[in-house]
Amino acid sequence: MHLPDPCGFFPESRGIMPVLRLFCALKEVEKMTLNLIFITVTIKRLKKTAEQRQRDEEVFRLYDEMNAKREAFQVRHF
């Protein structure tokens, strides 16, 4: 007994079944593509966040160094 398999990839040359198979395959490809896009965007966002955090830490460190130098200068000259 042959059961219809609308999402399979078995060749059948008559009726609507080949069209349904193609449609199901395209829907799966679309889902996989959207998942890959989501994962890629998420990874880029996390990477950008980590890079931004590193830049912020560097700026705060430089700011603290400048304040320490300014305070040392003021103590020596005033």
pTM: 0.44
- Summarised one tens digit per residue, pLDDT across range 21-74 is 777 788 888 888 888 888 988 888 888 888 898 999 999 999 999 999 999 888
The continuous run of DSSP H or E covering 18 comes out as helix 17-77
- Sequence ranges of the domains in the chain: 13-78
Closest CA to 4 of 20, 27, 23, 26: 20
3-state secondary structure of 56: helix
Question: Which amino acid makes up residue 46?
Answer: L
Residue 5 region, left (φ>0) first, then alpha (ψ -120 to 50), else beta? beta
Tell the residue number behind the tokens 């059948």, with chain if given.
Answer: 12
Tokens of 9: 């990839």
